[in-house]
Amino acid sequence: MDTRKALTIPERAIALSASFNQDFSCFAVGLEDGFAVVNTDPCELRVHRSFSGGIGIATMLGRANFLALVGGGRDPKFPPNRVIIWDDAKQRVAIPLDFKSDVLAVRLSRSKIIVVLRNRLYVYTFSSPPERLQTFETVNNDFGLAYLGSKHVAFPGRTIGQVNLFDLQTSNNTIVPAHTSSIMALALSPNGELLATASENGTLIRIFSTASSGTVTELRRGIDKALIYSMAFSPSSTRLAVTSDKGTLHIFDVLPSAAAPEAQPRPSSVGSGASEPAATHTESNKRFSLLGKLPLLPKYFSSEWSFAQAKVEGTGRNNVGWTDEDTIVVTSTDDCKWEKFVILNAPHTESGKTCEREAWRNFVEGMDIPYSQ
């Protein structure tokens, strides 16, 4: 009797990574045979570069011709401890950077290169050759968390629950004691004034002022523990979209008054490893849910809840981005799914808004790429 397992033919390609550029207008996809650049809305292939090897990380610099590439997959094109700044206009390597351990993430701006390792983060000038400006030690950062905004870069600190907020103009480093458990997701607002953080519990998202490091408001994703996959502010910095392993997209209002004047400043330090208490609400900026108004329920329910939710059907880790104030796109890597959601008026609902999925497609459709097994 033949007891061998039947050979299964994979039905779909698997992206190794997918990440938006700074304004969410495009996203770069790491593939087993190279990389691709896809327009966000409408979802259309712009570039597909086929290499003799896999790209595990592909990060765009706006809509410019430069990308940061790191090898990955079954047959990596480059070593996993090397960052390649790729000039796609000239089809060649512009800048190589080598490290002693695997690179987990790269962030780019027109003046800076941010490289994330498991326990370190490096800040370089975007020049040839690059100049190392700063080195930071971090807690174990297995997900390569780092968010590069217009004014700051945010990343986990040296103590669990803390966030480093490094000012790119002044080089000042502020430590924000955001949570009591490990940081799992970060986002900076387009106007540079707000920092959103989530911990491994995934129930609360805290919003801080980048000017004072004070707490602006607290948002509640839910009651059950969840792994937050991605967070992103809307173009006006007044809304926040959040996805998690629960398969739900949550959309929150971030109060316009959140900009910072009323935010209560919290103690901050440079290079301190001391543990700090978890952040608390600023009462003047907090908006309560209906549950929080009931006198017999604990303060646990008094955070601001999402005003709209939608089901995300893509599988695996995903990234969320905004194409305008009412349009959200989610890309999921395992099944290469692009999903578009729109916020609509719904007068008969409590919030007056609803979120509906308007379209979806496979973002590698039409590419001549090998299937992952």
**CATH code, domain carrying 185:** 2.130.10.10
SS3 267: coil
Q: Give how many domains the chain has, as a whole number.
A: 1
pLDDT at 286 over 80: no
Q: Residue 223's closest CA among 246, 253, 251, 197?
A: 246
Q: Residue 70's closest CA among 56, 60, 85, 91?
A: 56
116 assigned to some structural domain: no
The whole-number pLDDT of residue 264 equals 47
Distance between CA atoms of residues 152 and 173, nearest Å? 9
CB-CB neighbours of 131 under 10 Å:
10
- Average pLDDT on 119-147 reads 97
* pLDDT confidence tier of residue 14, bands split at 50, 70 and 90: confident
The whole-number pLDDT of residue 299 equals 46
Distance between CA atoms of residues 297 and 211, nearest Å? 34
279 assigned to some structural domain: yes
107 assigned to some structural domain: no
265 assigned to some structural domain: yes
299 assigned to some structural domain: yes
Distance between CA atoms of residues 322 and 239, nearest Å? 10
What is the domain range of residue 196?
Answer: 140-306
User: CA neighbours within 13 Å on the CB side: how many for 46?
Assistant: 17
The whole-number pLDDT of residue 12 equals 46
pLDDT at 257 over 60: no
Q: Assign 3-class secondary structure to 182-223.
A: CEEEEEECCCCCEEEEEECCCCEEEEEECCCCCEEEEEECCC
Task: Give percent of the chain above pLDDT 70.
Answer: 82
- C-alpha dihedral sign at 187, 245, 241, 278: negative
The whole-number pLDDT of residue 369 equals 52
What is the Cα Rg of the chain in Å?
21
pLDDT at 4 over 60: no
- Average pLDDT on 283-296 reads 42
Are the CB atoms for 116 and 146 separated by under 8 Å?
yes
133 assigned to some structural domain: no
pLDDT at 192 over 90: yes
- Average pLDDT on 127-155 reads 97
* pLDDT confidence tier of residue 10, bands split at 50, 70 and 90: very low
Give this prediction's pTM. 0.85
In order of 146, 203, 245, the CA distances from 319 in angstroms are 14, 18, 12
276 assigned to some structural domain: yes
The whole-number pLDDT of residue 367 equals 75
Tokens of 46: 């712009």
In order of 42, 46, 314, 336, the CA distances from 369 in angstroms are 21, 15, 20, 13
81 assigned to some structural domain: no
The whole-number pLDDT of residue 301 equals 52
- Average pLDDT on 50-79 reads 96
- Average pLDDT on 92-97 reads 97
